[in-house]
Structure 1
């Protein structure tokens, strides 16, 4: 599959959901493509750290509007991410396939301790990601002007954004009460 789809969807979905995506943290051991996509938002200050809990735990409080994480998912990480995110911050993280129901329910329950909104979305390459938000809803609060003004994209656009959150009924039923939207 085309790897540009993954990078565009991991970056632009949260950045176009956030009211003000100025301070962005990328947690990845291979952040080049994610950083390139974040740079398309000229106003963004992007910081990259590796997938190390020590690096994440050393970050300052209330510093980031958006966190894009490729790190594993556990309660200690989410606690630190909650701490470094601003009061209206958003997190996007990789997660197991939605077919791994029990693993995802556990993950979403952990996120539910810190975030008002937790929604899976289709990346477009056959995988999904999780968007967790303290304030903004990814389909109701999309910044259409920001989404339409990004130059040079190959996949993401303002129509793809809300469509990525469409899930079949079997997923809705399976995750009823766990997905917070």
Structure 2
């Protein structure tokens, strides 16, 4: 599948949901493509670190609008991400396939300690990511002007953004009470 789809969806969904995404933290061992996508947002300053809980734990409290993580989802990382996010911040992370129900429910229950909104969304390459927000809803609070003004995109746009959150009934039923929207 086309790898630009993954990078565009991981980066632009949270940034275009954020009221003002000026500080973006990308936690990845190979963040080049994600960093390039974040750089499309001229108003953003972003810092790229490779994930190591010690490095995340040394970051200042409440300093990031958006955190994007490709690292394994775990409770210790979630508490650090919650700490470095601003009070209205967004967090996007990779996670196991939605077919791995028990593992995902465990992850979503842990995230519920920190976020009002937790929703899986389709990346467009056959996988999903988890969108977590302390304040803004990804389909109700999309910044349409920001979403439409990004130059040079191959996949993401303001129509793809809300459509990515559409899930089949079997997903809705399986995760009823776990997905927070």
TM-score of the aligned structures, taking structure 1 as reference length? 0.99
> What's the counterpart of residue 127 of structure 1?
127
Query: Which deviations, in whole Å up to 9, do the C-alpha atoms of 1:30-84 show, x marking residues without a partner?
Result: 0000000000000100001112111111111000000000111111100000000
Distance of 1:114 and 1:133 partners within structure 2: 9
* Cα deviation, residue 124, structure 1: 0.1
* Cα deviation, residue 85, structure 1: 0.1
> What's the counterpart of residue 150 of structure 2?
150
Give the gaps of 5 or more residues in structure 1.
none
5 Å-filtered alignment, 1:4-23, equals 4-23=4-23
Distance of 1:51 and 1:94 partners within structure 2: 13
Distance of 1:72 and 1:46 partners within structure 2: 21
* Equivalent residue pairs, number: 181
Distance of 1:59 and 1:172 partners within structure 2: 36
SS in structure 2 at match of 1:54 = helix
SS in structure 2 at match of 1:42 = coil
> What's the counterpart of residue 46 of structure 2?
46
Residue 86 (1) aligns with residue 96 (2):
no
Give the gaps of 5 or more residues in structure 2.
none
SS in structure 1 at match of 2:46 = strand
SS in structure 2 at match of 1:16 = helix
Distance of 2:8 and 2:169 partners within structure 1: 26
Write out the 4+ residue segments of structure 1 that deviate beyond 3 Å after TM superposition. Answer: none
> What's the counterpart of residue 108 of structure 1?
108
Distance of 2:32 and 2:68 partners within structure 1: 13
> What's the counterpart of residue 24 of structure 2?
24
> What's the counterpart of residue 61 of structure 2?
61
Query: Which deviations, in whole Å up to 9, do the C-alpha atoms of 1:72-115 show, x marking residues without a partner?
Result: 11111000000000000000000000000000000000000000
SS in structure 2 at match of 1:150 = coil
